[in-house]
Amino acid sequence: MLRLILQRLLALVPLLFIVSVLTFSFTSLLPSDPVDLILGDTGTEEQHEMLRERLGLNQPVHVRYMQWFGRAVQGDLGTSFFNSVSVMGAVMQRLPVTLSLTAVSAIIAIVVGVAAGIAAALRPRSWIDRFATLGATFGQAVPNFWFGLILAAIFAVNLRWFPATGFTPISDSPWDWLRSVILPSIALGTSSSAAIARQVRSAMVGVLQQDYIRAARAQGLSARRIVLKHALTNAMVPVVAVLSFQITVLLGGALVVEQVFAINGLGTLAIGAVRQQDIPMIQGLVLVMVALVVVVQLATDVIYGLLNPKARPS
Amino acid sequence: MKRRIRDAILSMAIAAGFGLGVTAAHAEPEGTFKYAEQVKLITMDPQQQSGSGVPYLRPVYESLFERGTDGKPVPLLATGYEVDGLDVTIKLREGVSFSNGEAFNAEVAAANINRGVELAIVEGLKTVDGAEAVDEFTLRIKLKEPDPAIIDSLCHTGGMMLAPAAIADPALDRNPIGTGPYVYNKDESREGEVRVYTPNPTYWDKDKIGLARYEVWELPDDTARLNALKTGQIDAGNWLANPQSAIIDRTPGLKLVRGTGGLNYHVIISDREGTVVPAFADLNVRKAMAHAIDREAFGKAVQFGLAEKSFQPYGKGDWAYDPALEGIYEFDLDKAREFMARSEFSDGFTFDMPSIPIYQSRLEALAGFFNEIGITMNIVPQEPGTLARVSRTTNYPATNLVWATNTDPKFLALRYIYEDAAYNPFKAKPSEDLLNLAKEGLESVDTAIRAPIYQEMAARLAEEAFLIFVTNTPILIGVSEATANNPSVVYRFGEDSINLRGLKAND
């Protein structure tokens, strides 16, 4: 297992390098110019040139990339084109916000998805199964930003149970933190819970028909013990594989849902950076997101290996 | 500009309501006021501020002058001024210090102006050659050319005064130090989310500090901002004409305040000499286009009923506004077709128009109107943020932009009229009438003298019809009922913010 972890972490190095080259190349192809945005409508050609020089934009892309790379390997991702905010500082400030949102969404997705999947699998073709299937279809079909708007309108604006916007750090108040992330997390986690429910139902239906389950029943084990201990453990193996993908989806979805609830996470930062063509910020964000996805996949691989010994590397 | 115009220093000082020498105990500031801004903060350096975001600066920085309730400049850090040709002499308020304890005087003010000139980002300082201290509290600004709008420019970012220590700070964009009623509280602010301001203990007019805390929330999403207003998370915020502001307008318990000024949406026929599209050289064609636009329907359908028809660059309430121009290009398809028939292009023609996503629906509506008279307008999508740049090139024979209606009319000439104007990429020669009026408007600082000149210029622009004004959207500020009923709330003239001097919390 340790070898797997080391292998994955080593693979992260070339991956980040390739991603950084691609991001730098693609952003340099964009037609809009950050200098235009900084100087506004009134900047003269001379000012444009001076600012381009100051930002290093007058140099070829490969030279700019090498300069950036030289600093990045020392842990310096540079500063924004538009102000003195450091990229690393900005990303690190927002990372806990997006991670909070993703973690709570993942918990909601797992709890709701697994429960709905088990309930549906225990009574196939019953009204519970049909209801769960319908719910899963709805959950997967509904765009998370739209669902977020609806949740905000009902539970924040009308009922005033939760704040409509903003994020409270957990260190300020755990209760207010939970209130601030609950609606966006439901909006975000619904789609994943639907995907997980479908996967759990399908896996559980298969496992419950296995001989060892029949044997367990014949031995007089309680239904709860059979389902939770014997069936679910095996059924969770394919679910963990789905979970890895779903958490990546949640990270991406958080970027959109953050806008709806005015949550100042990586998504809000990313959208602002793209709009402004803030290349250092875009570069830093992409790298952090890629690293996050790799870490999530590594974690799920480890869990997968723990659940399924056959999947462990020899 | 030989004419010597002396401002009544004494009356201005009275108008400023000087707080110096006030010895009576002042009320302790209390409560919080929360304002939401639709644009993210880029920089807190006013001299590097090229667009929106002034509400982030106002708590900390004060300008030499500010606009009074009638839009005319009144002194703030100044006490009066005198314009003599290219020399502008400004008397400064004594006894003012920056929040870090540094003194405010003419030397500091000159350093500020010279920095703004050197950076050359603030449009209002482009006519300034330099500034110098005459004595401790007298500042002289030397102009490169006559500029009747210089005092108005000093009401905005160009006239905001930064402490010398702030100027020397490379991280000034996040460490503002000014003379304003509040100081920026970096520790309590959260980058990208909320800016917190607390009272300035050294403020020169303590009675005007009414709040214990002022917050500016960065809420660019219109729906999120609307929800925050509805739930009382914010007390006020600024909006553009969009579905969310229309909702505020009809929601009980909320109010949409329409401020003076705003944005004028217009079409610019850049190729008015017909270099690329010969039809644009024909006045009949341009007039036909102006008559073909149903501005009322446009305002209702595309700008959610929050815009008014426009036939001139100035808005109602502006000193240069001319009611006589109202309806000059009223929607009249028969008349539009008549003009087209009179032109050499009665069979119609085609041209390209650049578009950014925010203007897409506007251009689709305009394309429909032009189509009615046989003109095909191809909408060519551009990357967001590139419209101004492509509009300055000869890539497109026409473009569409907005213009802040409370901007001094002299900028209209700098943008569109002069041969080297920013948005005259084909270098079309202005008519002699227009050129003379544009120049004549610079000869006085007195708006009473300038108004008829610019009204004539607007009439001439209408006659030449290369600028087709479509609609005016006022400055829109959405407020809660409590804010609407708060007697201390004063909206800044021509600006999407609330005057903080004297502002008290709603409770």
**What pLDDT is recorded for position A8?**
77
Do the strands B138-143 and B128-135 form a parallel or antiparallel pair, or are they unpaired?
Answer: antiparallel
Residues of B in contact with A146 (CB under 8 A): none
Q: Does B487 touch chain A (CB under 8 A)?
A: no
pLDDT confidence band for B12 (50 / 70 / 90): very low
Q: Hey, are the CB atoms on A262 and B224 less than 8 Å from each other?
A: yes
CB-nearest partner of A160 from B231, B383, B386: B231
CA atoms within 13 Å, Cβ hemisphere of A191: 24
Q: Hey, are the CB atoms on B227 and A42 less than 8 Å from each other?
A: no
Q: Hey, are the CB atoms on A163 and B233 less than 8 Å from each other?
A: yes
**Is 60 exceeded by the pLDDT of residue B339?**
yes
pLDDT in tens, B82-105: 999 899 999 999 999 999 999 999
Do the strands B308-309 and B467-480 form a parallel or antiparallel pair, or are they unpaired?
Answer: antiparallel
**A133 and A123 in contact (C-beta within 8 Å)?**
no
Q: Hey, are the CB atoms on B227 and A165 less than 8 Å from each other?
A: yes
Q: Hey, are the CB atoms on B42 and A83 less than 8 Å from each other?
A: yes
pLDDT confidence band for B317 (50 / 70 / 90): confident
Chain A residues in contact with chain B using a Cβ-Cβ cutoff of 8 Å: 30-33, 36-44, 47, 82-85, 89-90, 93-94, 149, 152-153, 156-157, 160, 163-167, 259-262, 264, 268-269, 272, 275-277
Q: Hey, are the CB atoms on A41 and B422 less than 8 Å from each other?
A: yes
3-state secondary structure labels for all residues of B52-100: CCHHHCCCCCCECEEECCCCCEEECCEEEEEEECCEEEEEECCCCECCC
Q: Hey, are the CB atoms on B228 and A277 less than 8 Å from each other?
A: no
> Distance (Å, rounded) from C-alpha A259 to C-alpha A248?
18
**Is 70 exceeded by the pLDDT of residue B406?**
yes
**What pLDDT is recorded for position A4?**
76
pLDDT confidence band for B429 (50 / 70 / 90): very high
pLDDT confidence band for B201 (50 / 70 / 90): very high
**Is 90 exceeded by the pLDDT of residue A24?**
no
Residues of B in contact with A262 (CB under 8 A): 217, 219, 221, 224-225, 228
> Distance (Å, rounded) from C-alpha B158 to C-alpha B411?
15
Q: Does B386 touch chain A (CB under 8 A)?
A: yes
**Is 70 exceeded by the pLDDT of residue B42?**
yes
pLDDT in tens, A98-128: 999 999 999 999 999 999 999 999 988 899 9
**B219 and B37 in contact (C-beta within 8 Å)?**
yes
What percentage of chain A carries pLDDT values higher than 70?
97
> Distance (Å, rounded) from C-alpha B488 to C-alpha B51?
27
3-state secondary structure labels for all residues of B98-152: CCCCCECCHHHHHHHHHHHHHHCCCHHHCCEEEEEEEECCEEEEEECCCCCCHHH
Residues of B in contact with A165 (CB under 8 A): 219, 224-225, 227-228, 233
pLDDT confidence band for A261 (50 / 70 / 90): very high
Q: What is the mean pLDDT of chain B?
A: 92
**What pLDDT is recorded for position B44?**
94
State the average pLDDT over residues B331-339: 97
Distance from CA of A41 to the nearest CA of B (A): 6
> Distance (Å, rounded) from C-alpha B252 to C-alpha A147?
25
Residues of B in contact with A45 (CB under 8 A): none
pLDDT confidence band for B1 (50 / 70 / 90): very low
Residues of A in contact with B186 (CB under 8 A): none
**Is 80 exceeded by the pLDDT of residue A296?**
yes
Tally C-beta pairs within 8 A across A and B: 116
> Distance (Å, rounded) from C-alpha B108 to C-alpha B113?
9
Mutate to test the interface with A, among B37, B38, B50, B234 (most CBs of A within 10 A): B50
**What pLDDT is recorded for position A238?**
78
State the average pLDDT over residues B119-128: 89
What percentage of chain B carries pLDDT values higher than 90?
82
**Is 60 exceeded by the pLDDT of residue A148?**
yes
CB-nearest partner of B191 from A33, A85, A163: A85
State the average pLDDT over residues A28-40: 76
CB-nearest partner of A82 from B42, B227, B385: B42
Q: What is the mean pLDDT of chain A?
A: 88
**Is 90 exceeded by the pLDDT of residue B52?**
no
> Distance (Å, rounded) from C-alpha B19 to C-alpha B24?
11
Question: Which residues share a beta bridge with B66?
Answer: B74
**How many other C-beta atoms can be found within 10 angstroms of the C-beta atom of residue A260?**
25
**How many other C-beta atoms can be found within 10 angstroms of the C-beta atom of residue B259?**
19
> Distance (Å, rounded) from C-alpha A137 to C-alpha A116?
12
State the average pLDDT over residues B28-39: 94
Do the strands B398-404 and B254-269 form a parallel or antiparallel pair, or are they unpaired?
Answer: antiparallel
Residues of B in contact with A36 (CB under 8 A): 385-386, 388-389
**Is 70 exceeded by the pLDDT of residue A313?**
no
Closest CA to A92 of A231, A265, A279: A265
What percentage of chain B carries pLDDT values higher than 70?
94
DSSP strands (E only) in B312-461: 349-355, 375-381, 398-404
Q: Is the ipTM of this complex over 0.90?
A: no
pLDDT confidence band for B26 (50 / 70 / 90): low
> Distance (Å, rounded) from C-alpha B232 to C-alpha B272?
51
